[in-house]
Structure 1
Amino acid sequence: MKYKRTVAILAPLLVLAGVGGWFAYQKLHPAPAITHILCMGDSITASDYGDYTAHMTDRFRESRAPIEVTSAARPGNTSGEYLRWMRETGLLERTNPHLVVLMLGTNDARVDGDHTPTPLFVKNMHAILDRIAAHHNPDTTTPAVILATVPPIPEPSLEVFNQSSQRRVEKEINPAIRQLARQRRLHLADVHGFFRQRIELMSGVHPTPQGYSALGDFLFREARVFLTGQQNAPEKERLPDNMRGTIAFESNRDGNFDIYLMNTDGVRRLTRSPARDGFPSFSPTFDRIAFESDRSGRFEIHTIDRSGRIEKLFASPTRDRSPWWTLDGKYIYFDRLVDGKEQVFRFHLEKKKVEAVTSGRHRTAVPTVSPDGNILLATGHRHMGWDLLRIDLSDGKESVFTPGYGGCRAKYSHSGEYVAFVSHKFDKRGDIILTPAAEFSPTRLTVDGDRHDYYPAFSVDDRHIVYASGPQLYDGNYDLCIVEIATRRTWTITNHPATDYKPVWGEWGNP
C-alpha cells in the first residue's frame, strides 16, 4: 500500500515534469517556421514541357530549408490574362506567399490575338506588382518579389511565334522587365542571360527537360540568396557599395569581445582590451561611441572618440549595460542592476549626473529613446513574460507597445517615424518586426525560420535595417545581415565563425 501511495503521488509530478521539460525543450529548440514561395508565370514555369518548381522544391528539400514552393503557372497566359486570373481567383489570398517569383512576357510576344503591345505589357506588370505589394499575409508580411526576365527564343517552334517574337523578347520585353526591376527596386533574376549562355538548354520557345531542371537550380539559388543573404563567402567583409555610413558591432573574432567597425572599405577593430567591450551606440554627432565594458571588473559605461581615447563616464555601484545616446546629445540611457533586477537610468552628460528613470519590482532593460526625447521604449518583464514597453518621459505613464507580440530590443529610425524590434510570435525564434512609432501596426521583415534574428538598427537614411542572425539563441555563430525595408532583399555582410552582433549604424571617419 505504501508503494502504491508513493506511485500515486509521484506519477502526476513526473507527468508535470515531463510536460514542463517538453515546453522547455520547445522554447530552446522550436520547430522552424515555413517560408512560402509562390512561382507565378506561364508554361516556362510549369506545363507539359516541364516544371522548374518541382526541381526547385527538390533543391530546398535537399538543403533541409523550411521552405515550401507552390506553382501558380498558367500555360499560354499573357500578362493581361494572368492579371485577370489572379484577381478572379484570389490567388494571393489563397496562398499567402512570403516570396513571389514572377516570370511573364513570353506569350505577350505572340503574333496571334494574344499579341500585347509593350506599353500594355508594362501596365499589366505594374498592376500585378501593385496587387502583390498591397497584399498582407496573416503573419503581417508583405510578399517580397523576385522579378525574372524570360528566356530567349532561339528558334520559333510554335506557329504563334515568329522572328518578330524573337526580336521583341530581346529588344522590348526583357528591357521592359529590367526597367521595371530598377523602377520598383526589385531583385532581378536574369533567366534570359542564364539561357543565353546555355542556349542548348532551349528547344524553341520552351526549355528542354534538362533546361527546366537547370532553371529550377538557378532560381533556387536566387531565392535562397534573396531570403537569407547567404552568398558565396566574400573575399572581404564590407558594407555594400550602394550603402553609406559605418556599422559598429560587438564581436569576439579576435578572442574576446571588442567593438568593430564596418564600412565599404571593410572591417577594422576599434577597441583592444582583455575585458569585454560591447553594445555600441553612436553619439548624435558621430564623433564618439558609447559602449559597455567590464574592464574595471564590472560592466560600466564608457565612450571612445575617433582618436581612440577611452573615457569611463562614471562608476557603477552594481553593473551598467546597454547604453543608448539620445539624439539631442544630452543623455546616455542604460540599464542598471538594482536588487537583482534591471532598471533604466540615464546619465546627464553636461551635469555629470546619473538619474533613475524606472524603479520597482519588475525588470526593465535595453532602453531606446525617440528622437524627440519624449518616449522611452524598453524591454520589460511584468507578469507573463517580456514585452516592449512604452514609457512617456513627461509623466512616467507606462503601456505595452507591442500587444500580442511580446517584443524586445527596439530601435527607433533616425527620423523617429518607425520602430524595429524583435518578436518570437511567428517562428518562436526571433524575427525583425517593423511598425510605425505613432501607432502599433506591425510588419514582419525577416522570415528565415531556421535562424534567430536579433538586434535591429536603422541605416542612416532609414532605408535598411542591419541585424544579427544566428543558429542559436543569444550566442554562437551570429552574422550581420541587412534587409532593405521596401523590398525585403537581404544581404549577409559578415562571414566569420565568431559571434558578430549588437550592431548600430551611423557615421565614423578614420582617426
Structure 2
Amino acid sequence: MALMSLAAALVCVALFLLTVDRTLLTPRTSRVVVVSPADGSPTSEGETVSIRALATGPNLIRSELWADGVLVETIPSPEGETMTSWSITHSWVAQGQGPHQFSVRVHDLSGRILASSPSVLQVVPLGRIAFATDRDGNYEIYTMRTDGHELARLTSGPEQDREPSCSRAGLLLFASTAVGAGTDIWVMDPGSDERINLTAAVGGDHSPRWAPDDEMIAFVSDRYGSSQVYLMGPDGSGLFQLTAQDSPIEQPSWAPDGSTLLYAEERDGNWDVFSISVDEGTLERLTEDPAQDWYPAWSPRGDRIAFASGRQGSQQIYSMEADGTEPRRLTAFPSGAEQPQWSPDGGWIVFVAYMGRSEGLRAREIYIMRSDGSDPIRLTDNAFDDTEPVWCQQGEGY
C-alpha cells in the first residue's frame, strides 16, 4: 500500500514538472526580435528591404513576414529541421509612400506563434537630394537618396561650394567661393567632374536656380550694389537684370511654367515674399507680416507656396495659396526650421531643422515630410552643418 502511494506521488511530481516546463520555462526563453531596420527607418519606394529578426524557443519550424496585416513571405526552417535559435532574413519590396507596419511571426511544432513587436518603415519617393555640408572642413556639394542612404560627394577642393540646383538633364549648378576671391555661379556634369564658371564677375553671385525647362538660370548678384535677381542662359550668355529694387533681394524660385519668379525682399528691416513676372516685370507682394517671411518655394503644380516664417515664435515652415492667402503652419520644431523645397511630384517637402548634435548653424539637419506637414523623417544626424537641400530627379550623375 505504501509503495502504491509513493508511486502515485512520483507520478504527480512528474506531471507537475512537465506542466511547469511547458507553461513557465518555455515562454520565458521564447521570443522574436527584429534586429534591423530600426523602427521608423525610411526607405525609397521600389527598394527591396531586408528585414532581419532573431527568434529563440523550442521546435521553431516556420517564419512569416506580415506587412500592414497581410502575409508577405513565409520561410521554413533550414532543411526542415526544428530550431531553437534562428537568425531570419525576410525581404519586402517597398510599395506605397508613407508609413507601413510590419512584424515577424514564428511558428513552433506545438502550433504556438511567437510575434515580434510591430515596427514601422517609412516609404519615401524614389530620387536624390543634393545639399551643402561642411563635414569635410569647407563646404562641398553632396547627394543622397531620399531615404538618407548612398551618400555621394560631388565637389572637392579648397573652394566653398554651396546652394546646389539640379537640372532635368543631370547638370549641377552651385555657388562657389574661392579663397581670397568672390562668389560665382558654376555648372558641372557630375559624371565627368568638369566644372565651368558662368559668371566670373566682380561682386558676389549666388543662389542659382534652373528654370523648369533648363533654358534659363536665375541667380542673385550684388555686382551693381544691392543684391538683385538676374537671368542668364545655361552657358552664361544673355545676362539680364530682372529686379531693380532699392532693398536687397534673395532666394529666387521659379514658377512651374517659368513665367514668374518668387523671391524674398528686405523692406524696412523685414523680409517678405514677392513675385515678379519674367516678361513684364510686374511685382506682387504675397506676405506682409511683422515677422520674417522668406525662403519661398513654388510647388510643382503651382497652387501652393512653401516658405519659412517666424510669425508664431520660432521660425517654421508654412505653405500658402499662390496668391498669398490661407497660410498654414507645417512644422513645430523647438529650435526652428527653414529652406523648404518641393519634390518633383509635389507630394513631399525637403527642409532643414535645427535638431543636430551641435549648436548654431551646425545644428542644421535635413528632413523630409509630406506636403501637408505629416510624416516628418530625419535624413541626416551629425555635428556638422547640412544645409540648402534640393530635390533632384533620379538619373545619371546624381
Does residue 401 of the first structure (1) align with residue 286 of the second (2)?
yes
How many residues were matched structurally?
Answer: 292
Q: State whether residues 469 and 481 of structure 1, in contact with CA within 8 Å, keep that contact through their aligned partners in structure 2.
A: yes
Distance 1:187 1:312, change over 3 A: same
Residue 466 (structure 1) aligns with: 350
Percent identity of the aligned residues?
25
Asked if residue 287 in structure 1 is aligned to residue 174 in structure 2, the reply is: no
User: 1:457·1:467 contact (CA, 8 Å) conserved in 2?
Assistant: yes
State the 1:501 CA deviation: 0.7
Question: Pairwise mapping of residues 92-491 of structure 1 onto structure 2 (< 5 A)?
Answer: 242-263=124-145, 265-283=149-167, 285-295=168-178, 297-305=181-189, 306-338=191-223, 340-349=225-234, 352-404=237-289, 406-428=292-314, 430-438=315-323, 440-448=325-333, 450-470=334-354, 475-486=361-372, 488-491=374-377
For normalisation by structure 2, the TM-score amounts to 0.65
How far does the alpha carbon of each residue in 1:180-228 deviate from its partner, in whole angstroms, 9 at most, with x for none? xxxx98757899x9xx9899xxxxxxxxxxxxxxxxxx9xxx9xx9xxx
Partner of 1:500: 386
Normalising by structure 1, what TM-score? 0.52
Does the CA-based 8 Å contact 2:331-2:373 persist in structure 1?
Answer: no
Change (3 A) 1:396 1:427: same
Aligned twin of 1:509: 396
Q: CA deviation at 1:372?
A: 1.4
Does the C-alpha gap of structure 1 residues 255 and 397 become closer, same or farther in structure 2, counting only changes over 3 Å?
same
Q: What runs of 5+ residues in structure 1 fail to find an aligned partner?
A: 1-173, 177-183, 200-217, 226-230, 232-239
Q: Deviations over 1:354-379 (max 9, x none)?
A: 11111232111111121212211111
Distance in 1, matches of 2:236 and 2:373, equals 44
More helix by share: 1
Residues 469 and 480 in structure 1, CA contact (< 8 A), matched pair in contact too = yes
- More displaced 10-residue stretch of structure 1: 398-407 or 385-394: 398-407
Cα distance in 1 between the residues matched to 2:156 and 2:391:
21
Instruction: Provide closer, same or farther for how the CA distance between residues 272 and 415 of structure 1 changes in structure 2, counting only shifts above 3 A.
Output: same
Going from structure 1 to structure 2, the CA distance change for 1:445 and 1:291 (only over 3 Å counts) comes to same
Secondary structure of the structure 2 residue equivalent to 1:476: helix
Secondary structure at 2:361 match in 1: coil
Instruction: Please tell me the root mean square deviation across aligned C-alpha atoms, in Å.
Output: 3.4
Structure with bigger strand share is 2
Residues of 1 paired with 2:160 and 2:269: CA distance? 32
Q: Distance in 1 between matches of 2:360 and 2:230?
A: 24
Question: How far off is 1:394 after superposition?
Answer: 2.9
- Alpha-carbon contact 1:344-1:356 (below 8 Å) kept: yes
Matching residue of 1:12: none
For residues 236 and 226 of structure 2, the distance between their equivalents in structure 1, rounded to whole angstroms, comes to 26
Deviation string, structure 1 residues 409-433 (Cα, Å, up to 9, x no partner): 11122233322111111123x1111
Greater RCO, 1 or 2 (C-alpha within 8 Å, sep 6+): 1
| Gap regions ≥5 residues in structure 2 | 1-67, 71-95, 106-112
Partner of 2:227, secondary structure, is strand
What is the alpha-carbon distance in structure 2 between the residues aligned to residue 388 and residue 406 of structure 1?
Answer: 9
Structure with max Cα Rg: 2
Taking the aligned partners of 1:337 and 1:288, their CA distance within structure 2 comes to 25
Once residues 479 and 197 of structure 1 are traced to their aligned partners in structure 2, the CA distance between those partners, rounded to angstroms, is 38
Report how far residue 452 of structure 1 moved. Answer: 2.1
Deviations 1:483-509 (A, max 9, x none): 112461110011121100100001242
Q: Give a deviation string over 1:321-359, Cα, whole Å, max 9, x none.
A: 111110122211111114552111111236712111112
Tell me which residue corresponds to 1:77.
Answer: none
